[in-house]
Amino acid sequence: NAGVTQTPKFRVLKTGQSMTLLCAQDMNHEYMYWYRQDPGMGLRLIHYSVGEGTTAKGEVPDGYNVSRLKKQNFLLGLESAAPSQTSVYFCASTTPLAGGLETQYFGPGTRLLVL
């Protein structure tokens, strides 16, 4: 069981370039999430998905798009990267439980630097 994996681990982009971050999970989880983590701040939710073919906006969705064509994969796209998108990106997945007591399982993160 690999759990949650993220590709790539590290990437440097120039302003205006585009890229896609890939998240894959092998736990058959329904829900998947993309967060960003910036120094001195808590993780912030970018987009999430509650099932294959569905996506929804989180707290900071601007400048990002997502797709969930397969249950096990959740893609995060940056169409035109900006320096403000320099961050560490984490993917997480879970299966919902009553009372919201599910545990989110996080990937190892993708470090993105936009010059």
Q: What is the binding site for another protein (CB under 8 A)?
A: 4, 40-45, 90, 92, 96, 99-101, 103-104, 106-109
CB atoms within 10 A of CB 71: 16
Nearest to another protein of 7, 15 (CB atom)? 7
Closest separation between CB of residue 16 and another protein, Å?
A: 28
How do beta strands 31-37 and 19-25 pair? unpaired
- Looking at the Cβ atoms of 74 and 90, the one nearer to another protein is 90
Nearer to another protein, 48 or 64 (CB): 48
Strands 110-114 and 56-57: unpaired
Closest CA to 71 of 50, 90, 102: 50
As measured in angstroms, the least distance from the Cβ of 33 to another protein is: 9
Least Å distance, CB 32 to another protein, is 13
Dist. CA 83–CA 88, nearest whole Å: 13
